[in-house]
Amino acid sequence: MSSLNESQKTIATVGIVVTLTVYLIRRRFRGATCKSLALLKGKTVIVTGANTGIGRETALDLATREARVILACRDVQKGENAAKYIRKYTPDGEVVVKILDLASMKSIRSFSEDILKTENRLDVLINNAGVFRPPLLRTEDGFELQFGVNYLGQFLLTNLLLDLLKKTDSSRIVIVASALLKRGRINFEDINCEKNYSKAQGYSNSKLAIAMFARELHKRLSADAESSSNGNNPSVYCLHPGVIDTEMSRYFPMFVRVLLSPIRWLFFKTPKQGAQTTIYCAVAGELKGVSGRYYGDCKEEPWHKAVLDEDVAKKLWEVSEKMTKL
Ligand SMILES: NC(=O)c1ccc[n+]([C@@H]2O[C@H](COP(=O)([O-])OP(=O)(O)OC[C@H]3O[C@@H](n4cnc5c(N)ncnc54)[C@H](OP(=O)(O)O)[C@@H]3O)[C@@H](O)[C@H]2O)c1
């Protein structure tokens, strides 16, 4: 620095400080990494919403662990693009695209029938797909979109695939919720938003519902195991992935997305970083046999108290059975 004049020294110092600060901020927000080296050779995994974001990175990671990975996507072209991306890194991996639109019970049923007919095992089901704060839209069956896709669709899908999961030794069901579930409410008076709709509240409600489903499913599977001495029941894991720079903000106005982009780049996790807790729940050896717990940053976290209301969870299950004609 001795050959630099004063203003050049100042610019160089500011440059170094800014670079270091950016590096430290990005490091601070990147979250934990799944350390497991487990391989999944011979195992079959389904990832919903696998064409982009966290789902695609999860599918890529599991494919590199030699799993047969089924990308369950609603758009075949987007699914094939994701498969191409994954095959670039895992040329020998088995990556299959199948159509699943969680906003259509018909599609969920035909996807499940196909899986039950063609697959002889299902080791991990990852309920990852989701929509975030859309305007009031309805699924093919008339459900409010966030409640329909983020919760009801995955409730139906999981139940339809349960027998195959039960037939597979040490299978896992991984449910991607969100920390925003803490703002959720299950309002049985207006569960389908016929009277009121708020985008933000709708998202939190759907994530609270899927987390309650995770606990209730675990409870029912445990009771089933006790009464039928079936020790082979799937384990259920629920998680929040953090805040990640994905296509989640697609329903935001373009100017908001542009304004948010430096913040997203600086403070949000990348999709690969955001996928780590999902991967951890899907593969970590130390979680074998553990079930009905909640995770964030590759470690267990306490359930939010709203998730623990067992009467609401039971009623929600019964209402959901009726809504999905399970
Ligand atoms: N990003 C975050 O900060 C964050 C935070 C907390 C929780 N999460 C949760 O993480 C999960 C993954 O989100 P992401 O951030 O990766 O978002 P993303 O990039 O928007 O990906 C969402 C995925 O869900 C799929 N999807 C949406 N509607 C569907 C439907 N009807 N049927 C089947 N698939 C559907 C999308 O498919 P298309 O591309 O075809 O629409 C896409 O593959 C979601 O459950 C989300 O709620 C994300």
Identify the three-state secondary structure at position 245: coil
Q: Burial of 80 by CB count in 10 Å (0-12 exposed, 13-18 middle, 19+ buried)?
A: middle
219-230 pLDDT per residue, tens? 999 998 877 766
**What's the CATH number of domain 31-324, 3.30.450.40, 3.40.50.720, 3.50.30.30, 3.40.30.10?**
3.40.50.720
Cβ-based neighbour number of residue 65 at 10 Å: 21
- At 259-312, the pLDDT tens digits run 888 888 888 999 999 999 999 999 999 999 999 999 999 999 999 999 999 999
Ligand 1 atom closest to 248 (CA): 20
Structure tokens at 126: 């990852």
Q: Kindly give the residue spans of alpha helices, DSSP state H, lying in 29-176.
A: 53-64, 76-89, 105-118, 145-146, 153-167
Q: Which residues are catalytic?
A: 203
pLDDT of residue 30: 82
| Ligand 1 atom index nearest CA of 139 | 31
Task: Determine the 3-state secondary structure of 223 from DSSP.
Answer: helix
pLDDT digits (tens, 9 = 90+) for 160-176: 999 999 999 999 999 99
Residues in the ligand 1 pocket, defined by CB under 6 Å: 48-49, 51-55, 74-75, 78, 100-103, 128-132, 149, 176, 178, 240-241, 243-244, 246-248
Average pLDDT on 24-43 reads 89
Q: What are the structural domain ranges in the chain? A: 31-324
Q: What is the pLDDT of residues 53-109, one digit of tens each?
A: 999 999 999 999 999 999 999 999 999 999 999 999 998 889 999 999 999 999 999
For residue 230, what pLDDT is reported?
Answer: 60
- 121 contacts 40 by C-beta, under 8 angstroms: no
Answer for the pair 58, 67: CB distance below 8 angstroms, yes or no.
Answer: no
User: 252: which residues sit within 8 A by CB, 6+ positions away?
Assistant: 133, 260
DSSP readout, 276-295? HHHHHHHH-GGGTT--SEEE
